[in-house]
Amino acid sequence: MPLAASDVRYVEPPTMGLWEKLYLPAIFEGLGTTMRQMLKPAVTQQFPEQEPKLPAHFRGVHRLNRDEQGRVKCVACYLCSTACPAHCIDIVAAPSPWTDREKYPETFVIDELRCIYCGMCEEACPVDAIELTTLYDLTGLSRQEMLFDKEKLLSVFDQTTTAGTDPARTGRGRLGPASEKTADVRLPNPQ
């Protein structure tokens, strides 16, 4: 459809009066804003001494949850590695030594470098075995140390639950809503 002449609106720039032409009032206004900011308390977080308050749903380093007997909760169903958009989860399943499940992960490696911390593994997991904690400041000097294997992920669980930063979100010891024992899934702690 061609543009009609009546559709076009011409706009004139606003004319400046004497007040605007002086420019000085605008300068003092800007200086006043600066002065007011100087009198306000500083917003800087003193990071290494002062830890930031992160929301409880912040997605940081992963952990593998333990059940009440201290075993890994994971049932090696590969749902998390399938859901992972960055393909950073590598699981090797083996026949389980325990009677309550068929498989268990012999190795469970997450490449923390490639992970984009989207939380899809957490959503996909049917037994709430993998969770993301609020550990936010992970850094590494080499690629090898950033490959978190099963033991390290379990140690993250121990560390975060004992430190109290990330309490177990599901009823500890239960395999979760998708397993057989769904009779009384405890609600997560309201903290």
Partner 1 sequence: MGLLEGAFEEGVITTSLEQAINWARESSMWPMTFGLACCAIEMMATGASRFDIDRFGAGAFRATPRQADLMIVAGTVNYKMASRVRRLYNQMPDPKFVIAMGACTCGGGPYYKYGYNVVKGVDLVVPVDVYVPGCPPRPEALLEGLMRIQDKVRAMRHLTKGQPLDNLVPARTGRVKLPPELETLEKANEFVKRNKEAAAPGKA
**Applying CB under 8 A, which residues contact partner 1?**
42-48, 52, 61, 85-88, 94-97, 104, 106, 111-118, 135-143, 146, 151-152, 154-156, 158-159
- Closer CB to partner 1, residue 140 or residue 177? 140
| Strands, sheet with 147-148, edge to edge from the N-terminal-most edge strand | 89-95, 103-111, 147-148
Nearer to partner 1, 15 or 139 (CB): 139
CB of 95 to partner 1, least distance (A): 5
Shortest spacing between CB 32 and partner 1, in angstroms: 19
Nearer to partner 1, 61 or 171 (CB): 61
Shortest spacing between CB 5 and partner 1, in angstroms: 44
Q: Residue 116 in contact with residue 86, Cβ under 8 Å? A: yes
Burial 86-106 (b: 16+ CB within 10 A, else e): eebbebebeebeeeebeebbe
Distance CA 163, CA 51 (A): 14
Q: Which is nearer to partner 1, 122 or 185 (CB)?
A: 122
CA distances, 56 to each of 70, 106, 137, 155, 162 (Å): 24, 31, 15, 20, 16
Closest CB 185 distance from partner 1, rounded Å = 27
